[in-house]
Chains A and B, each alone.
Chain A
């Protein structure tokens, strides 16, 4: 039940399915060891989600020194907001596209677009400047648009 839910989160933060499984494994370990801190009056899923996201961010920090922070931009020019998004894209294809982003872009994109964090919160979590967070988000979106245009138009 929670496997698919957990993997749906970790796959977006990881570069591969192996890494996603590793993050999810670590997250479940944290859940098991900290289950006593869970308030049973509140819903479980948001608590689990927060643990998984924190674990993914920890992995991002741990592997940051081994990764190149800024990947080469895929898109040379930005697409306009009015560009039509093709609806027939599967979830797996979405994940593949997100995984093509560099770790820094991918993490900011996930935290802002999917999880709904503010740039100030993201900057604190990732230990970066707010401006960097905004910049990374813009570049992530630009790259995703380029990927979409290349593969689905």
Chain B
């Protein structure tokens, strides 16, 4: 950097004049800059929050998709087992009667090879003969000699146990607590003392049916015995708010709280909530109506940036319009009351003056009853009989003005919740 460039009168003139500066400090330069930097920061923050919200939504959607996929796989697997069972069902039908009359082999009796049993089972389709009959006949033939040679003690028949299991699987009764009764009635000594005997005499069909039966009873969400009336939910989600019109969203807020649902019947439910909401919005002078005496010389702010914390108390009625086995879609409508906890407003003016108020912040605590109408649709997925996940996009329309600025507050967003059923009947 040298000062020897200038050979030209113009250059000399400008160089000389540039040193004659007399610049006074102007506060409005920095206020204006502060406003621009705040806006820039808010934009960066909003972008970051949007990305986080998108990531959260993606994670929840992925989770729901995973559960739905797993459910679908399970249903497919059960259907396959069911169809296979139905193909072989004619063979197993007469089993209980015939088996009951048979004499069971002794626990210590030599049992037929599992390969023999499988071979017999395979032959069933060809001969059309009852598999259980074949098994019991084979068992009888195998044990006849042994039983007559040894003591004819009538021990609990292993074959009866397997036959009982087969009958349970065939009943297809969800409400009968079959798995419980089966395990209760099964004589424990038999299964404990002669596990090989049990497995040997349990045909593949019976084992498959037993497995299916146990799956059906233990599978979450399928049993209808535990329908809850009350459930509580922990809700969380983003909130986008705007004042006056719907094209001025700028910085996402958040919602976090609790809800209580009461199921009136299978389709209808009412819910009550208390949701702490951080609401950010931007309003022009037309949308923001603070007390007129507040403004300096009656000059209203050209733009107001609001950051409010409030309790949102929604009361909604929801209708389940699409019911799945483990999931459902529903629509809700209702009213929200707002309790303003803290209101923070920052003002900017078209022609900034030092006298103009720049900020208003107060813990107001004002209540605005039934100030907004709620509309939402939701998807609920049962994780277990007691726990479910919900995703519920919502839209809130103003009925009356809220806050110190008397704004018509529009909100939209999505509530994600985990719900727990309190009791059953």
Residues of A within 8 A of B (CB): 3-5, 7-8, 11-12, 17-18, 21-22, 25, 50, 81-83, 85, 89, 91, 94, 98, 109, 112-118, 121, 141, 144-145
Contact B18 A94 (CB under 8 A): yes
What residues on A are CB-neighbors of B36 within 8 Å?
18, 22
Of B6-14, B171-179, B365-373, the segment with at least 4 beta carbons within 8 Å of chain A is B6-14
Instruction: Report which of B6, B13, B14, B25 forms a contact with A4, defined as CB distance below 8 A.
Output: B25
What residues on A are CB-neighbors of B24 within 8 Å?
4
What residues on B are CB-neighbors of A89 within 8 Å?
17
Q: How would you classify the secondary structure of chain A's contact residues: helix, strand, loop or mixed?
A: helix
Contact B23 A3 (CB under 8 A): yes
Contact B1 A4 (CB under 8 A): no
Mark out the residues of chain B between 1 and 50 whose CB falls within 8 Å of any chain A CB in the assembled complex: 1-6, 8-11, 13-15, 17-18, 20-25, 29-30, 32-33, 36-37
Contact B29 A85 (CB under 8 A): no
Contact B4 A116 (CB under 8 A): yes
Q: Tell me how far the C-beta of A93 lies from the nearest C-beta in chain B, rounded to whole angstroms.
A: 9
Contact A116 B17 (CB under 8 A): no
Q: Tell me how far the C-beta of B7 lies from the nearest C-beta in chain A, rounded to whole angstroms.
A: 9
How far apart are the CA atoms of A116 and B20 in the complex, in Å? 17
Q: Tell me how far the C-beta of A130 lies from the nearest C-beta in chain B, rounded to whole angstroms.
A: 14
Closest to B33 in A: A21
What residues on A are CB-neighbors of B8 within 8 Å?
81, 141
Q: Tell me how far the C-beta of A53 lies from the nearest C-beta in chain B, rounded to whole angstroms.
A: 8
How far apart are the CA atoms of A7 and B25 in the complex, in Å? 9
Mark out the residues of chain B between 281 and 322 whose CB falls within 8 Å of any chain A CB in the assembled complex: none
Q: Tell me how far the C-beta of A122 lies from the nearest C-beta in chain B, rounded to whole angstroms.
A: 10
Contact B5 A116 (CB under 8 A): yes
Contact B11 A113 (CB under 8 A): yes
In the complex, 21 of the A-B residue pairs with CB atoms within 8 angstroms, ordered by the A residue number, are A4-B23, A4-B24, A4-B25, A8-B21, A11-B23, A12-B18, A21-B32, A21-B33, A22-B33, A25-B30, A25-B37, A50-B1, A81-B9, A83-B9, A85-B9, A91-B18, A91-B21, A113-B5, A116-B5, A121-B1, A145-B10
Interface size counted on chain B using CB atoms at 8 A? 27
What residues on B are CB-neighbors of A81 within 8 Å?
8-10
Instruction: Report which of B6, B9, B13, B23 forms a contact with A8, defined as CB distance below 8 A.
Output: B23
Instruction: Report which of A5, A18, A83, A94 forms a contact with B32, defined as CB distance below 8 A.
Output: A18
How far apart are the CA atoms of A21 and B1 in the complex, in Å? 24
Contact B5 A7 (CB under 8 A): no
What residues on A are CB-neighbors of B29 within 8 Å?
17-18, 21
How far apart are the CA atoms of A115 and B25 in the complex, in Å? 24
What residues on B are CB-neighbors of A3 within 8 Å?
23, 25
Contact B11 A141 (CB under 8 A): yes
What residues on B are CB-neighbors of A7 within 8 Å?
21, 23
Contact B10 A114 (CB under 8 A): no
Q: Tell me how far the C-beta of A152 lies from the nearest C-beta in chain B, rounded to whole angstroms.
A: 11
Tell which of B23, B24, B30 has the most Cβ of chain A within 10 Å.
B23
Contact A113 B1 (CB under 8 A): no
How far apart are the CA atoms of A26 and B25 in the complex, in Å? 17
Closest to A82 in B: B9
Given the contacts A8-B18, A22-B33, A91-B22, A115 and B11 also touching, CB distance less than 8 Å: no
How far apart are the CA atoms of A3 and B24 in the complex, in Å? 8
How far apart are the CA atoms of A125 and B22 in the complex, in Å? 29
Instruction: Report which of A5, A18, A21, A144 forms a contact with B14, defined as CB distance below 8 A.
Output: A144
Contact A21 B30 (CB under 8 A): yes
How far apart are the CA atoms of A98 and B21 in the complex, in Å? 14
Tell which of A5, A17, A109 has the most Cβ of chain B within 10 Å.
A17
Q: Tell me how far the C-beta of A81 lies from the nearest C-beta in chain B, rounded to whole angstroms.
A: 6
What residues on A are CB-neighbors of B22 within 8 Å?
4, 91
How far apart are the CA atoms of A25 and B14 in the complex, in Å? 25
Q: Tell me how far the C-beta of A111 lies from the nearest C-beta in chain B, rounded to whole angstroms.
A: 9
Contact B14 A114 (CB under 8 A): yes
Beyond contacts A81-B8, A91-B18: 6 other A-B pairs, Cβ-Cβ < 8 A, are A3-B25, A21-B29, A22-B36, A113-B11, A113-B14, A116-B1
Contact B17 A91 (CB under 8 A): yes
Closest to B22 in A: A91
Q: Tell me how far the C-beta of A123 lies from the nearest C-beta in chain B, rounded to whole angstroms.
A: 14
Contact A113 B15 (CB under 8 A): yes
